[in-house]
Amino acid sequence: MINSNVLFKAAYYKMFFKYLVLAVILSSLVFMGSSALAALPKQGSIAILAIGPSDQHAASVAAILTRELIANGYKVVDPDTLAAIRRNKAARLALEGNVDAIMRLGSQYGFSTMITAELKAGRPVVNEFQLYTGTSSIAIMVMSSGGQMIYADTVMGKQVGYTPDEAAQKSIEAAAKSAVKRMME
């Protein structure tokens, strides 16, 4: 007759081993998956649409994303084509995450990837040093023209300036630079 204590220990170790193996597999998938999902494809061209509290701020985000992507070897849609995309009624839907609109725009204008950026900027506040602190966030979504989600993230920017406008602009620039850096990781 087998001792019940021995059976219990055997069952415990068997269960412990199963959970250990499962934990190792899941952690390796999460580790490998996070970098694979964040990879922005280098092939094809990228269209960038941004929306924000003002046209100036949205244009600033789009310009920073464009500049940084080009500097890192990505092909971005030319300015004339991008202006035509922005005038298209489907651009508003694309900014809202409408996959059909992104696919339609990709087919019509020939880009392979679309980046949409939604900027939110808080009102700068006076800090303890009598300077202004600006905060902003950018929600980034990257989709292929075929409708597959490639990447999504939200980044924050917080910067100090001598005026409210300077603090706001610096926080937007910091958030945009952080967004493009994380997209390329």
Same domain, 98 and 32: no
Q: Are residue 10 and residue 75 in the same domain, yes or no? A: no
Count of domains observed in the chain: 2
Q: Are residues 31 and 63 in the same domain?
A: no
What CATH number has the domain bearing residue 101?
Answer: 3.40.50.10610
Q: Are 156 and 135 in contact (CB under 8 A)?
A: yes
The overall longest dimension of the chain from CA atoms, in Å, is 84
* Token code pair at residue 149: 């989600």
Range of the domain at 103: 42-184
- The sign one gets for the Cα dihedral 119, 123, 126, 127 is negative
The answer on 114 and 67 residing in a single domain is yes
Dump pLDDT digits (tens) for 64-90: 999 999 999 999 999 999 999 999 999
Determine the pLDDT at residue 84. Answer: 94
Average pLDDT of the residues of the chain: 83
pLDDT band at 172 (very low <50, low <70, confident <90, very high): very high
Query: 132 and 58 share a domain?
Result: yes
Based on the fold, state whether residues 60 and 111 are members of the same structural domain: yes
Measured distance CA(108)–CA(85) in Å, rounded = 9
In the predicted structure, residue 183 carries a pLDDT above the cut 80 = yes
The pLDDT, as a whole number, for residue 10 is 56
12 and 48 in a single domain? The answer is: no
Domain shared by 114 and 84, yes or no: yes
| Residue 97, φ and ψ in degrees, nearest 5 | 90, 15
Same domain as 130, residue 75? yes
Place of tokens 């959970």: 19
Q: What is the pTM of this model?
A: 0.75
The pLDDT-based confidence of 137 (bands split at 50, 70, 90) is very high
For 119-145, what is the mean pLDDT? 93
Measured CA to CA in angstroms, residue 37 lies from 51, 94, 133, 150 at distances of 24, 21, 33, 6
In tens, the pLDDT along 88-100 reads 999 999 998 899 9
Contact between 110 and 80 (Cβ < 8 Å)? no
Model confidence pLDDT, tens digit, residues 10-61 = 554 554 444 444 444 444 434 433 433 446 888 899 999 999 999 999 999 9
Closest CA to 181 of 144, 142, 155, 146: 155
Percent of the chain clearing pLDDT 70 (strictly above): 79
Residues 141 and 66 reside in one and the same domain: yes
